[in-house]
A and B are shown apart, each in its own frame.
Chain A
């Protein structure tokens, strides 16, 4: 009786979880198969899991256009590396600082940090300040600074980790030995916080790699084109399709046509290239990633 019940539970569990896992992965398979489909066949038959004719034309096109796409790839990489490094550094320094509640003012700073999770000025005020007063439009700062550099939630995760997992006695001993605060930070806090640093580093790296919103807000079509990342290029292609779709009749009237746009298969190939590093690296950082979500899921 019990074993039969257990077997039923197993079957239901596998069916349900398997179905969700399949739904999760199928669209990516469609993305890959359509990027290696023959363009003419794709136009005729649409996206398909089982393309009738295969072709690597789309990837060849990317090779030809490598000036633009390679540059975007390079920009994505630069922005991700610089953004993540700076972000992790200032997040950890800040978290270590406010973890020292015996220093005057740190409680106030802690409140200032938490308050940013409750209230913000909204897009208009933020946009106006960055564009009008700080003039970051069409500069690399536009991709690095707004919204992504320091995140209150990450600070709280690191701060809690330092408070609960690093014994205070370690720090005291180092202070008695005459170590400076910076030395303590670099030689004790950083090495001992590696698990949480890896976690927030991955999360931040992912948000820089995937960011298209800063590009949408702060890069203009022409002036900022040299700064385009892969995600921004994907977004730009999307917007051009929309314009053409919405003005289909007008576009025909003025002689513009969809051939000015990268074709169906090429678009998918660029998208595939954009997610490739995540797919390749995911098995290696998956463990940290799950740990990060688990940490992030529980209350501060």
Chain B
């Protein structure tokens, strides 16, 4: 009899102890969870705005349904095609060029014997990454402004060439955007690759040197193959992001110049302009929905493919 009571008391005590451990943990994650709910989850349901004829004063739920009209209007314009093309092509170009330059720099910086020089190159090339896009747009403007820009005044003019009205002439913009983006992100991606290179076992190189392999051969047959996992991870991440673009780059750097829209406007910029410049909730929400859903499908597809080829690299 006594033993049974004791046992019961014991388990109750245990349960009490368990709750004493569980409740504080729930309290700890509460602020973060609330934030996810507000900032991330509630807006997910807001994507239904794309199917509504939104009336700001009525709110989402009381606004009338609109069926597929918003999408019909969006895809009837040439804008839909332009912004999709720009978003995809720029992402591909950024990935290819960014990866090539970053790997080249990481491989070379790893060869540099002077510690001081290597540190200096790393620190300096990372600086642009720390700056906001607004500041970068000021820097770009200093080079490209048609009246006061460095390129027009200090390079083209002394060479006797005509000044170029950069912000009105769309010919050069794909190149300008690629340069600016590479300039800003190179230090960051270089360090990711450098971290993988530093982690490679030195025995491989020693063995190769004994076998008489040249530097170039070592790079080709040891370093580059061993960078594959890092490369694949970054590739999957960028496929997952291929429908997104850096709003700052495409909004700030071309200075929102209308003459350049056909080569500078991406989905994110379009959504912003339709929403806050034109208050066109229909077009804006349709483009936003299109971006979220297709982006999501692409992430799932990328992950599925990677799982098939290389389980280790899959994201989830």
Contact = CB atoms under 8 A, between A and B. Distances in A.
Is A bound to B?
yes
Interface of A: 5-6, 9-10, 12-14, 16-18, 20-25, 27-28, 30-31, 34, 42-43, 45-49, 90-91, 93-94, 96-98, 100, 103-106, 109, 112-114, 116, 118-129, 132-134, 145-147, 149-150, 155, 175, 180-182, 185, 206, 209-213, 216-217, 231, 234-235, 238-239, 241-242, 245-246, 264, 267-268, 271, 274-275, 278-279, 282-283, 286, 289-290, 293-294, 296-299
B236 to A, nearest CB: 9
Contacts of B118: 17
Contact of A181 (B21, B40, B126, B299): B21
Contact of A47 (B41, B150, B191, B255): B150
Interface in B149-165: 149-150, 152-154
A297 to B, nearest CB: 3
Given A6-B215, A47-B142, A238-B137, A124 B275 contact: yes
Interface string B238-258: 001000000110001001111
Interface of B: 21-22, 24-26, 28-29, 31-33, 35-36, 38-47, 49-50, 54, 56, 59-60, 101, 104-105, 108-109, 111-113, 117-118, 120-128, 130-135, 137-139, 142-143, 145, 147-150, 152-154, 167, 183, 186-188, 191-192, 195-196, 214-215, 230, 233, 240, 247-248, 252, 255-258, 268, 271-272, 275-276, 281, 284-285, 288-289, 291-292, 295-296, 299-300, 313, 315-316
Contact of B46 (A16, A27, A129): A129
A43 to B, nearest CB: 7
Given A24-B187, A293-B191, A46 B25 contact: no
A145 B142 contact: no
A149 B35 contact: yes
A46 B147 contact: yes
Contacts, number: 296
A24 B31 contact: no
Give the interface centre of B25, B50, B139, B143 by most chain A CB atoms within 10 Å: B25
A103 B25 contact: yes
B150 A122 contact: no
A278 B33 CA distance: 32
Contacts of B24: 180-182
A24 B183 contact: yes
19 contacts: A30-B139, A46-B152, A46-B154, A97-B29, A97-B32, A98-B29, A103-B22, A105-B26, A118-B240, A119-B44, A123-B272, A146-B39, A175-B21, A181-B21, A210-B135, A212-B248, A216-B276, A275-B135, A293-B191
Could you tell me the dominant secondary structure of chain B's interface residues? helix
Nearest to A99: B25
Contact of B167 (A245, A286, A299): A245
B45 to A, nearest CB: 7
Greatest chain A CB density within 10 A among B139, B147, B152, B183 is at B139
Contact of B109 (A13, A43, A182, A234): A13
Contacts of A216: 276
B55 to A, nearest CB: 11
B215 A268 contact: no
Nearest to B271: A123
Contacts of B258: 246
Contacts of B117: 14, 17
A257 to B, nearest CB: 14
Contact of B25 (A23, A42, A100): A100
A234 B32 contact: no
A155 B32 contact: yes
Nearest to B35: A150
B127 A246 contact: no
Nearest to B187: A24
A46 B149 contact: yes
Given A155-B32, A274-B135, A286-B123, A121 B25 contact: no
Contacts of B21: 103, 175, 181
Nearest to B190: A20
Given A97-B28, A129-B38, 12 more contacts: A21-B121, A46-B149, A90-B32, A106-B25, A120-B292, A125-B285, A126-B43, A129-B46, A133-B59, A275-B131, A278-B131, A299-B233
B127 A90 contact: no
Nearest to A145: B39
Contacts of B124: 21-22, 24-25
A10 to B, nearest CB: 7
A242 B167 CA distance: 10
Contacts of A128: 46, 49, 54, 60
